[in-house]
Amino acid sequence: MSIQTEIEQLKKEKNAVILAHYYVPGDVQDVADYVGDSFYLSKVATKLDCRSIIFAGVEFMGESAKILNPEKRVFMPDKTADCPMAHMIEVEDIEEVREKYPDVAVVCYINSTAETKTYSDVCVTSSNAVKIVKNLPNQNIFFIPDQHLGSFVAQQVPEKNVILHSGFCPRHHQITREQVLQAKAEHPKALFLAHPECPEEVLAEADYIGSTSGIIDYATESDEQEFIIGTVIGVFHELKLKNPDKKFYAVNSGQVCVNMEKVTLDKVKKVLEDESNEVFVSEEIRRKAMAPLERMLEMAK
Ligand code: 13P
Ligand code: SF4
């Protein structure tokens, strides 16, 4: 029996649903019930009729699914799969800004720990950050932890005072403008599609800026045939499935999320079998972290 068939059977047996982010390996995306960007997956997680969720992604994703679904069991195929950016902010950083700007709204990228969320007013993802910041009543915004998504939002919402933090995604941060120009010279017909976790000078060269789903949809709907992709190359799997005749190029060879790559098919099967790697969040943290997540789901409508 193939591992895919075994996983199918185990899913039924355990009444489990698999959610996968576009950055995990393609064969894991293929066995998932839902594949998407961070926002889509957090929305889907609130609407599932199942006993357990297998989250093929990194820690903050499994944690958010658990926070929103306390009655379900959530499992991670690899418990060490974590997003380094989520740990780049300290509670003291938030307290300092709150002291200086008592009316500030702390806007927390979903790529953050549950503890950070408890100190935040609203969560955002790359697909709704601009809309949510625009619609907040507050003039002062502390955007944490991603400096690049924060500066993209600041540009799109110039009427607000957006205070930036210093966090970043190591995979997007290492993409340079020079590399983009080089890739454009090599592929002169290609459009450049970038994720807002890229540095500002990289985004300045982009024909489209959006979340992983946004990039996939844009390339799929476009009449153009070639694209340079400024995000983690996990998205190539869905891009190629939807666009077998189009060509996709990375900007450099470092666009791999080593943490998402830890999520293998074998580990998905194992976690279904032995129900290990369960996600637990204390009730106090869960309740406090749920408020900014629910506000995001409401404000993004
Ligand atoms: P999105 O899928 O929401 O665009 O997020 C990208 C990301 O880096 C997730 O860690
Ligand atoms: Fe975190 Fe970057 Fe990996 Fe996304 S791609 S999970 S932001 S390290």
In a shared domain, residues 93 and 161: yes
| Distance from the alpha carbon of residue 86 to the mean position of ligand 2, in angstroms | 9
For residue 227, tell me if it sits in a domain. Answer: yes
In a shared domain, residues 52 and 101: no
Per-residue pLDDT band at 264 (split at 50, 70, 90): very high
Instruction: Please state the rounded mean pLDDT for residues 239-254.
Output: 98
In a shared domain, residues 101 and 123: yes
In a shared domain, residues 293 and 162: yes
What domain range is 226 assigned to? 175-250
Q: Which atom of ligand 2 is nearest to the CA of 83?
A: 1
Could you tell me the CATH number of the domain that includes residue 90?
3.40.50.10800
Nearest to 222 by CA among 200, 201, 207, 202: 207
In a shared domain, residues 51 and 189: no
pLDDT tens digits along 215-231: 999 999 999 999 999 99
280 in Cβ contact with 63 (< 8 Å):
no
* pLDDT score of 113: 98
- Token representation of residue 54: 């297998």
pLDDT tens digits along 62-81: 999 999 999 999 999 999 99
- Residue 183 has phi, psi (to 5 degrees) of -65, -40
For residue 195, tell me if it sits in a domain. Answer: yes
Roughly what angle, to the nearest 10 degrees, separates helices 59-68 and 283-299?
A: 90
Nearest to 180 by CA among 249, 256, 258: 249
In a shared domain, residues 211 and 275: no
Determine the Cα–Cα distance for residues 102 and 290; give it in Å rounded to an integer: 22
Determine the Cα–Cα distance for residues 16 and 245; give it in Å rounded to an integer: 35
For residue 91, tell me if it sits in a domain. Answer: yes
In a shared domain, residues 91 and 78: no
Please give all residues whose beta carbon lies within 6 A of any atom in ligand 1, as ranges. 37-39, 83, 111, 125-127, 169, 195, 197, 211-212
Determine which residue's CA is closest to atom 10 belonging to ligand 1: 111
* pLDDT score of 227: 99
In a shared domain, residues 92 and 163: yes
For residue 255, tell me if it sits in a domain. Answer: no
Determine the Cα–Cα distance for residues 278 and 36; give it in Å rounded to an integer: 22
For residue 134, tell me if it sits in a domain. Answer: yes
Determine which residue's CA is closest to atom 5 belonging to ligand 2: 257
| Tally of structural domains, the chain | 3
In a shared domain, residues 8 and 76: yes
Determine the Cα–Cα distance for residues 258 and 81; give it in Å rounded to an integer: 8
Determine the Cα–Cα distance for residues 253 and 85; give it in Å rounded to an integer: 20
In a shared domain, residues 149 and 17: no
Per-residue pLDDT band at 207 (split at 50, 70, 90): very high
In a shared domain, residues 89 and 162: yes
147 in Cβ contact with 169 (< 8 Å):
no
pTM, whole model, 2 decimals?
0.97
Q: Which atom of ligand 2 is nearest to the CA of 258?
A: 3
Q: Which atom of ligand 1 is nearest to the CA of 85?
A: 10
ipTM of model: 0.97
| Distance from the alpha carbon of residue 259 to the mean position of ligand 2, in angstroms | 8
pLDDT tens digits along 89-122: 999 999 999 999 999 999 999 999 999 999 999 9
pLDDT, the chain, mean: 98
